Chains A and B, each alone.
Chain A
């Protein structure tokens, strides 16, 4: 199993103890994970993420289990060329942050990026939130990625795998049940921010949506890497040992 929700690099609104790839590689080993799709956290806040992608590719060279998830901003001139470049350099997935870039749910740029990712054969990864809404820095005005924004990208999509990280039950259900069965099959959710017992929201979602809709993610280094492991360990007996989708073969 791999972690599809990991980063390197600092976060602009608080200190993070271990944003470096060497520690990430050790954390993955400790958690029993085979590798990770790794994003460059500062790139979410850059105007032009190109320098962040350069830094990401260079930083991950010594760590073969850390696969780059490059950042592409589809409202930036020349993004198609930037996408092709990152694919050529081995990007395993493409990350996009519409909330941080001020792109609303109806913005066509994200749909264009989704389509381009499908043509290139790489998944498109969104992040619902980096921090709990209640603790946001006063300069962090982006807000959570809305369910409407995810639905807008997923509707009509027939080719691109879309992964949404760090979403909670409300967003997940609102998107999932707001799509056709065919559209749902291309949307995946990481379990890093879904509540376990006593609310048992992860168990409920696994029952109602099926475990194949979910992938393993930690949100390291923003959050404790142990959280999804704890959540799986505390599933009710009938769900013990449940198998999530393993995206390493995509």
Chain B
């Protein structure tokens, strides 16, 4: 039975860390997974899913070391999904920094096709010089970079060259004009190390996603960087995403701060989002202008779309 009101409340909600799948990728149940994300997203009240696809999800090349062919395949599929669901899906262009020239060309081509951010996974450590041209391209294009992070990498983990908060902090310090989203503080590892590593980097935002729901994690993230640098996301466990939204409401965030975490911070840094609160998924049918009221962005509505 579908409830009438979203489980997370009626105000806008942007998931900055979503994934989709496609026919022929490494997940046979791809269609069920996509449908489940939309179903649960509707129940929660997600206005916009900002999503990526990492190559073929391992079918033809490793997820975290995707070949150029797989990168193209995944971005093709992601673009197609976004074009089929313009009311509720936006997307990152995913690239592997090891194929630098290809990655830069892919970013340019996909931004022209509607991508609003860049997804970097674990093909190269964040502080590797190979990542610099990508970070610079992201800065030039006002494209937030969602970077896969292992919270406090204390050893090598298989199948990825994972970065941690300290690695990303070094990259962010070199590129103060770019905005970086540190992926899934609940996605594995010691998040306390992350908070200490990025506290002083104003261009690093913490994405709350991941299956981890440790009591104290949200409090400490909030204490470390404040509500203006927190972004809500779910990644591959929407249930924990909903639990975190409910928890944020009881650990002391004000309604203004909740709005920041739910959508305003994302609307601010994704300058190409081109989404007007009240017109996204679910809220379009439930809200209307009057409910949103003062929560509209200060610039008065539709977000600016930079020149291509």
Instruction: Note whether A and B form a binding pair.
Output: yes
Question: Which A residues lie at the B interface, using CB under 8 A?
Answer: 14-18, 30, 131-132, 134-135, 138, 195-200, 202, 220-227, 229-231, 233-234, 236-237, 240-241
Chain B residues positioned under 8 Å from A237 (CB to CB): 1-2
Residue from the list A196, A223, A240 in contact with B239, Cβ < 8 A: A196
Whether A131 pairs with B214 at a CB distance below 8 angstroms is yes
Chain B residues positioned under 8 Å from A224 (CB to CB): 213-215, 218, 240, 243-244, 246-247
In the bound complex, what is the Cα–Cα distance between A221 and B32 (angstroms)?
A: 34
Task: Pick the most buried of B188, B189, B213, B239: most chain A CB atoms within 10 A of its CB.
Answer: B239
Whether B188 pairs with A195 at a CB distance below 8 angstroms is no
Chain B residues positioned under 8 Å from A199 (CB to CB): 33, 36, 236-237
**9 pairs, A vs B, C-beta closer than 8 Å:** A16-B216, A132-B188, A195-B237, A197-B40, A199-B236, A220-B215, A224-B213, A224-B246, A234-B7
In the bound complex, what is the Cα–Cα distance between A30 and B251 (angstroms)?
A: 13
Chain A residues positioned under 8 Å from B32 (CB to CB): 198, 200
With both beta carbons as reference points, the residue of chain B lying nearest to A223 in the complex is identified as B213
Question: Which B residues lie at the A interface, using CB under 8 A?
Answer: 1-2, 7, 32-34, 36-37, 39-40, 43-44, 150-151, 154, 188-192, 211-216, 218-219, 236-240, 242-244, 246-247, 250
Whether B39 pairs with A227 at a CB distance below 8 angstroms is no
Whether B247 pairs with A198 at a CB distance below 8 angstroms is no
In the bound complex, what is the Cα–Cα distance between A241 and B1 (angstroms)?
A: 8
Chain B residues positioned under 8 Å from A14 (CB to CB): 192, 214, 216
A106 → chain B closest CB, angstroms: 29
Whether A195 pairs with B211 at a CB distance below 8 angstroms is yes
In the bound complex, what is the Cα–Cα distance between A237 and B239 (angstroms)?
A: 15
Whether B7 pairs with A135 at a CB distance below 8 angstroms is no
Whether B216 pairs with A197 at a CB distance below 8 angstroms is no
In the bound complex, what is the Cα–Cα distance between A14 and B219 (angstroms)?
A: 14
B18 → chain A closest CB, angstroms: 9
In the bound complex, what is the Cα–Cα distance between A234 and B7 (angstroms)?
A: 9
Whether A197 pairs with B37 at a CB distance below 8 angstroms is yes
CB within 8 Å for A227 and B243 given contacts A196-B40, A196-B237, A197-B40: yes
Chain A residues positioned under 8 Å from B238 (CB to CB): 196-198, 234
Chain B residues positioned under 8 Å from A221 (CB to CB): 215
With both beta carbons as reference points, the residue of chain B lying nearest to A31 in the complex is identified as B246
Whether B212 pairs with A135 at a CB distance below 8 angstroms is yes
Chain A residues positioned under 8 Å from B189 (CB to CB): 134-135
Whether A230 pairs with B239 at a CB distance below 8 angstroms is yes
Closest CB pairs A-B (n = 6): A196-B239, A134-B188, A197-B40, A198-B36, A230-B242, A226-B243
Task: Pick the most buried of B151, B212, B242: most chain A CB atoms within 10 A of its CB.
Answer: B242
Residue from the list A17, A135, A225, A241 in contact with B190, Cβ < 8 A: A135
In the bound complex, what is the Cα–Cα distance between A124 and B43 (angstroms)?
A: 36
With both beta carbons as reference points, the residue of chain A lying nearest to B37 in the complex is identified as A198
With both beta carbons as reference points, the residue of chain B lying nearest to A198 in the complex is identified as B36
With both beta carbons as reference points, the residue of chain A lying nearest to B242 in the complex is identified as A230
Chain A residues positioned under 8 Å from B237 (CB to CB): 195-196, 199
With both beta carbons as reference points, the residue of chain A lying nearest to B210 in the complex is identified as A132
Residue from the list B150, B188, B215, B239 in contact with A197, Cβ < 8 A: B239
CB within 8 Å for A135 and B188 given contacts A230-B246, A234-B239, A237-B2: yes
Chain B residues positioned under 8 Å from A225 (CB to CB): 215
Whether B240 pairs with A227 at a CB distance below 8 angstroms is yes
CB within 8 Å for A229 and B243 given contacts A138-B154, A197-B40: yes
With both beta carbons as reference points, the residue of chain A lying nearest to B247 in the complex is identified as A224
Chain A residues positioned under 8 Å from B190 (CB to CB): 135
In the bound complex, what is the Cα–Cα distance between A151 and B230 (angstroms)?
A: 43
B36 → chain A closest CB, angstroms: 4
